[in-house]
Amino acid sequence: MGTGGAKRTRVAAVVCGVMVMSLAACGGSGGDSGATADASPGGKAAQPKARTTDLKSIPDVSDRLQKRIPANSRQVVAVYGEGKDDADATVVFYTKNGSTWDKTRSWQGHNGKKGWTTNHREGDKRSPVGVFSLSDAGGVLADPGAKLPYTRSASFQAPRYWAKSHWHDFDYVIAIDYNRVKGTSPNDPTRPQGQSKGGSIWLHMDHGSGTSACVSLSKSGMEYLLRTLDPAQHPMIVMGDKAELKA
């Protein structure tokens, strides 16, 4: 596997958990924020910054979920949903140095239109809560320098009968390994747990509102993750609403 990722040609017409013949828009918009800064409205003194380096664990994630992060994983994308029935989320990238974690980047984003679920079903418009690996990427656009295997194909293109704001949702995607076969293009339709459990849950580009079940963030955020997530570092994603992540 080269630095640019293996180029694959086998693709299938599936987009974000829904077959092309019955596509539902999956995306959201959001700004690229970098590390979160302190605000000081009205001239009030800024609150002390939360610690962002030498963290003993991923912040605000329960031991139950932390234990599902493999010991050899040194890259974690954490998605903190605002609420169980809310589509707004914050996407944070953590890297492990020695035995501790550092908060490296942060972006505003979106999740499923109807929020989150611990029992995702096809078409429920909720993102699945859990800990998943990140192993494959792709999109309409040329490989930006991805370390994950990258499949470029026009088959990722959102249909033109969607709202124009959605047309670039899948210019870049990173497959979240929920109910899929690792080592295949993100739009491979295979569902090991069955079609009813949904699939094609991706990180992808943001269009300003909730998704069908995916997680979305800015184009610059996607480019950063594509160039940074490294199979040798065993990247993972921890995702869910804030209350469930802490439970």
Q: What's the pLDDT at 49?
A: 67
Dist CA 17 CA 125 (whole Å): 10
Which positions of the chain have pLDDT values less than 50?
1-7, 9-25, 27-44
